[in-house]
A and B are shown apart, each in its own frame.
Chain A
């Protein structure tokens, strides 16, 4: 038995040590690692009916990944333009949602982190309450507002700003507003935690030395808050790229989110390997993208999640 294991059991006792080790192994290996590997393996297999699984036809193939790039074999187009467009549109929209949330939330996080008083507690509660409401219901609330006879359209046509109802849903405005709305808290809290620990004297020193307010933010606050900003952005990006409820409820009929394609492969086409391949592509692309952006802004992986 290796030394550290022996020490572990000495410290926790055999029974407790086994319980802890068992639970941790079940979680890390049984729930996190093996299912992901199993999905990866599955994505390289053809879609077979259950009796043929494990048979001679069950060989590794790149078919599912090829499908995403080139489309069905013998198809009219040389590339699978529909799915690829959905894929890139999803990534681009997730980036836009993240930037929008960052700009929206940074002043709030700064204000909450730097001012004292009992009203801050009230603001914190008001921030958390929407987050406790079901994701579906939040999307539903936005649908009531953005619908064709919704509050906004009634308001604006009533005021005479535009004559015919504007279709927010078909123009994806409702979708972006909904995605931004869903993840505000995940953007604010990491930033707030970091900015709260910023010494006020630093800001005052910068001000005394004559820096205008925007330079104080640019040179003092933002560099200090970088870990918080990057974890907030990472979470919002990953979650909005992987969102399913908001696109299903708020998305227009013609615009799809990549997760909806995965959902269709699983539930409508019953092609699990294809769906698994799409999921792998989404996961790997998102992780690579986040790592690339983090390297671009010189943020360490260890800062995330603090």
Chain B
């Protein structure tokens, strides 16, 4: 196959793939700035920042964020501790038990979150009952249950991250410390823990993110402490507003910012290492010239651009007032609606005229005709459409029966439809 054709098709495929991956997030972020009451991109109405203001006044969202932070902190502590203990155990467990043990601690990743939530709820409810505690005891507290339920599987993630680093640890270091008279606790705190710090940090970040965005488990355990995700789900299920888009935009922006920041830091470390490698002995002895934060570091440049853009946007947001534009759009909508009403009226008027003309032609013939069966028996007067409609046009419509004498408007096609 032609090589350049293959290359082009790979790039097209990548483009489609990332469009599918990132497109929804971009569109959702954009809808946060449209003044339309329903989150949408088209038709674009006005640039507005009102949804952000609305978001920060929403007590339930703020309360959800607070609960999420509390639960996230608890989950981080518990699952990193359990993950570290699990990883240490994995490296020194009795070989015959190893496979079984590994299956048990890896299983929570694969068990559906719904099942974990239910089992946590059922189990602790039973413990609670066995201890004879009431429904308001600590064990049936939403925060406790959620932390426990989430930690069950988040600890497995932490364990995987930590065990990867632990495999590179030289046990001789701990042994040396013990030989030199350190206690086990000291050796752990001064030797192993510093070695594990990077992995612990990434495990903690991972645990917090997983806890923050968890829905399946939390939805069974949250009790009276709904997290942000739960509140969002309630809002999304029962009517969506652009203030959710505004929250999404904030989360997307924060994520992108921290990803870039992390990337810039990694890149800088790489550059520093490269500079060290190339440096001569004198340079190392003297002052080594470190590459500046920006040199050859795309990510760092992007971070700064991003920060400046954020500040600019926030600055304009405080000064910008979309009131005029919104008023214009409202006016336009009102005009459109009025036009539509006008058209409708015209149509009805024409219909009525036509009908009257027809009835005038064959009015006598109809009066002697038998009355068609009509549910209401009162002609058109109680037809739903006369009562429901809001414009005056129907007032005349309601009077028509008296003009028509006996037939009572039953021949009006509208009334037949409505009475069915």
What is the interface of chain A, defined by CB distance below 8 A to chain B? Answer: 4, 8, 11-17, 19-21, 23-24, 26-28, 31-36, 38-39, 42, 50, 53, 104, 107-108, 111, 121, 123, 125-130, 132-145, 147, 149-151, 154-155, 158, 181, 184, 213, 234-235, 238-239, 241-245, 248-249, 259, 262-263, 266, 272, 275-276, 279, 282-283, 286, 301-302, 305
Contact = CB atoms under 8 A, between A and B. Distances in A.
10 contacts: A27-B152, A28-B86, A28-B101, A28-B105, A31-B155, A50-B129, A137-B251, A144-B245, A279-B114, A283-B115
B40 interface: yes
Given A121-B263, A140-B28, A151 B112 contact: no
B118 A134 contact: no
Given A32-B108, A243-B216, A134 B229 contact: yes
Contacts of B24: 138, 141-142, 144-145, 181
Interface string B194-218: 0000000000000001001101100
Given A133-B248, A181-B20, A145 B27 contact: yes
B36 to A, nearest CB: 10
Contact of B113 (A126, A139, A244): A244
B232 A149 contact: no
Pairs of residues from A and B, 10 with the lowest C-beta to C-beta distance, nearest first: A242-B112, A13-B184, A23-B85, A141-B24, A35-B119, A35-B123, A141-B28, A38-B123, A39-B119, A4-B94
A8 B185 CA distance: 15
Contact of B122 (A42, A128, A142, A181): A42
B251 A259 contact: no
B122 A242 contact: no
B105 A39 contact: no
A26 to B, nearest CB: 7
Nearest to B129: A53
B42 interface: yes
B369 interface: no
Nearest to A234: B110
A4 B98 CA distance: 13
Contacts of B183: 13
Contacts of B20: 181
Contacts of B111: 36, 238, 242, 283
Nearest to B252: A133
A276 B330 CA distance: 52
A135 B232 CA distance: 10
A117 to B, nearest CB: 13
Contacts of A28: 86, 101, 104-105
Interface stretch (B236-244, B390-398, B403-411): B236-244
A35 B129 contact: no
Interface stretch (B10-18, B359-367, B381-389): B10-18
Contact of A132 (B105, B219, B228, B255): B255
Contacts of B295: none
B99 A302 contact: yes
Which of B21, B209, B229, B263 has the most chain A CB atoms inside 10 A of its CB? Answer: B21
Interface residues of B, number: 87
A130 B126 contact: no
A16 B21 contact: no
Given A32-B108, A39-B118, A136 B233 contact: yes
A19 B232 contact: no
A126 B220 CA distance: 32
Contact of A140 (B23, B81, B148, B244): B244
Given A31-B152, A35-B120, A141 B25 contact: yes
A275 B114 CA distance: 10
A207 to B, nearest CB: 12
Nearest to B86: A24
Contact of A263 (B110, B114, B155, B160): B114
A15 B255 CA distance: 40
Contacts of B220: 266
Nearest to B209: A132
B259 A24 contact: no
A153 to B, nearest CB: 10
A143 B115 contact: no
B248 A137 contact: yes
Contacts of A139: 236
A276 B233 CA distance: 23
A16 B185 CA distance: 6
Nearest to A11: B92
Contact of B259 (A19, A129, A138): A129
Nearest to A139: B236
Contacts of A136: 213, 215, 229, 232-233, 236
A138 B241 CA distance: 15
Given A130-B25, A136-B229, A24 B251 contact: no
B8 interface: no
B357 interface: no
Which of A12, A139, A286 has the most chain B CB atoms inside 10 A of its CB? Answer: A12
B110 A238 contact: yes
Given A53-B129, A149-B40, A133 B255 contact: yes
Contacts of A282: 112, 114-115
A150 B31 CA distance: 11
A134 B94 CA distance: 40
A241 B78 CA distance: 28
B109 interface: yes
